[in-house]
Amino acid sequence: MQLTGPVFDSTNPATGELVWSGHSASAYDVGAAVAVAAKAGSTWSGLSFETRAGYCTRFAETLTQRKPALAECISREAGKPTWEALTEVQAMIGKVGISIEAHQKRCAEFSGGGAKTRFRPHGVVAVFGPFNFPGHLPNGHIVPALLAGNTVLFKPSELTPLVAMETARLWHESGLPEGVLQVLPGGVETGRALAEHPGVHGLFFTGSARVGLHLQESLAKSGKILALEMGGNNPLIAWNTANLHAAAYLMAQSAFITAGQRCTCARRLIVSSGPEGDALLAALTSVARRLRVGPYTTVPEPFCGPVISAGVARKLVAAQSALVAQGGRGLLPLTHLKEDTGLVSPGIMDVTAIANREDDELFGPLLQVIRVADFEAALNEANNTRFGLAAGLISDEPALWQQFFERVHAGIVNWNQPLTGASSAAPFGGTGLSGNYRPGAYFAADYASYAVASMEQPLMAVPAVLPPGMDLG
């Protein structure tokens, strides 16, 4: 399809180099794509599950063959180091088998109470993808949606259209029929046209709470199924732990991997106000100071690349300055390493003295430290947020873990593991502003189709006992 919307570009956030340029999808293009998807859907949904799964399996095989090339696209457009981009493509490959298993287990036909329950696709669904995992996260919606029999219109982040185009090309190289998956690149106007089109029956979104809440409000009366994953202001408590090296690794990994651009990254580190807290912060600061940051072509390979744009880097520097102005104390300043790029060094800010702290997600490698007197106060601080995606505890004490697990409000709750560790073989989602209680990953099968209950009888029959007041004559 030749798109007719305005031309826009994507660039390498580590260098400013042009990566992709093309037309966005206009409202007219969206309408045309919906018509194509609806027509393709009548055939696609009529295929057996095994046939649709076969297409998905072939896609996984193609991904395996093209893994280095797609990883290169991710590195160029999202800035990720090669090691992390390869990990992302591997997660895309693994998602196929996990999604097939999940659909078979969660959407299998069953009987009970005299009724049969089967599962049907919604029809045409839209997938809105984020920039931080431009391959893996939309893939986590697309594969379950296709398995269920839906056709998909994929609007990637306007910051990462190349990865989306290459992913779709690999789907078509794997034999996926025309019209079953279409990419509609663009920004706000493309997203609005797609979300509001009456021929789109569902929308699966990963991104900011601001955009997710807007979608929730605008589609409240539409009747469309909406699955939201919106990030979090995630707490990580480190308490009563003797292994400072292991704790420092877990804290650094949780806060700074992917340049702090994972929705599960630790945003708030909660430690003791006593000597143990001092030791933990010293160990973390020492590790964070030595983390290598740079373009993916850097040798030796960096731990993390840039944030997604120079504009985001400047916003993080401004946020840090605002925290200092409010009474925050810099333990390790976040620094904009190169103007006109997204390259920033990790930052650690003690915000204990700031009253009425903003409950926002600072999407980058700026960790806020809060020091408290006891574990009860640590738990209260962990829950002091409107979000509820991820929460973690670093501790040697099983009793503290039990307390933490029972009381913390989050959909992902980890113990002595990186907060960013989430399994595709488990549900992925959160509470509060972090989502709308439609967790993804293994549970994406639940929102990719809907249940239909049927009471069936091949031959009509009159019951032996008629209801009172009825006489058939």
Report the catalytic residues: 229, 263
Burial (CB < 10 A; 0-12, 13-18, 19+), residue 113, is exposed
* 198: nearest Cα among 20, 38, 57: 38
**Residue 285: other Cβ atoms inside 10 A:** 18
Q: What angle do CA 138, 143, 148 make, to 5 degrees?
A: 130
Q: How far is CA 402 from CA 252, 272, 376, 380, 399, in A?
A: 24, 19, 13, 15, 5
Find out whether 14 and 342 touch, Cβ atoms under 8 Å.
yes
Instruction: Give the residue carrying structure tokens 């180099």.
Output: 17
Find out whether 172 and 53 touch, Cβ atoms under 8 Å.
no
**Residue 78: other Cβ atoms inside 10 A:** 34
Q: What pairs with residue 182 in β-bridges?
A: 153
Q: Tell me what percent of the chain is helix, strand and coil, each rounded to the nearest 5.
A: 40, 20, 40
Q: How does DSSP assign 149-185, residue by residue?
A: T-EEEEE--TT-HHHHHHHHHHHHHTTPPTTSEEE--
Q: How far apart are CA 343 and CA 28, in angstroms?
A: 38
